[in-house]
Amino acid sequence: MYKELKKFKVSDSFSFAADDSLEQVCNASEGSGVFLVYAVAEEKELIMVGSTGTVQNDGTLKIKNGGLKEKIVEGHQFAKTGRKYSWPAQMKKEDISLLEVVWYETFNDKTKGIPTAVEGQVLQNFLDENGRLPKWNVAF
């Protein structure tokens, strides 16, 4: 686990197989924060980092309806369609049988980690270690 994520106490994870319903297995909160997606095989490989929620200049949080759960299930990736459709297709294309999604609320009453800043820290550490971004992150 990345050290910058240890301080966030509202966190959980779930597994997703290509024939699962992402809407049903996703246990993410409606809060704001980051999520890490791992391809699970003999070893776990971090393949994507995402976030949701924007901190305004007055220190308040602007969050889209549904928060992390909505972003994970309905967020667009690989096509102009929600992940609930694009992830299973991409998993089949790449022969990935299982994903593990770990999510963290980074901005709430107790913690004030700007979601995109935390996402950027995790991606920077991955870049430093691997010389590239995770394969499902197109850019940052």
- The count of domains in the chain is 1
Within a domain: residue 22?
yes
Domain holding 28, by residue range, is 17-44+52-130
Summarize pLDDT for 92-126 with one digit per residue, the tens: 999 999 999 999 999 988 899 999 999 999 999 99
Within a domain: residue 36?
yes
Within a domain: residue 24?
yes
- Nearest partner of 70 among 30, 18, 108, 24, judged by Cα: 30
Summarize pLDDT for 20-53 with one digit per residue, the tens: 999 999 999 999 999 999 999 889 999 999 999 9
Task: Tell me the H-state helices in the chain.
Answer: 22-25, 67-74, 83-94, 115-130
Judge whether residue 1 has pLDDT over 70. no
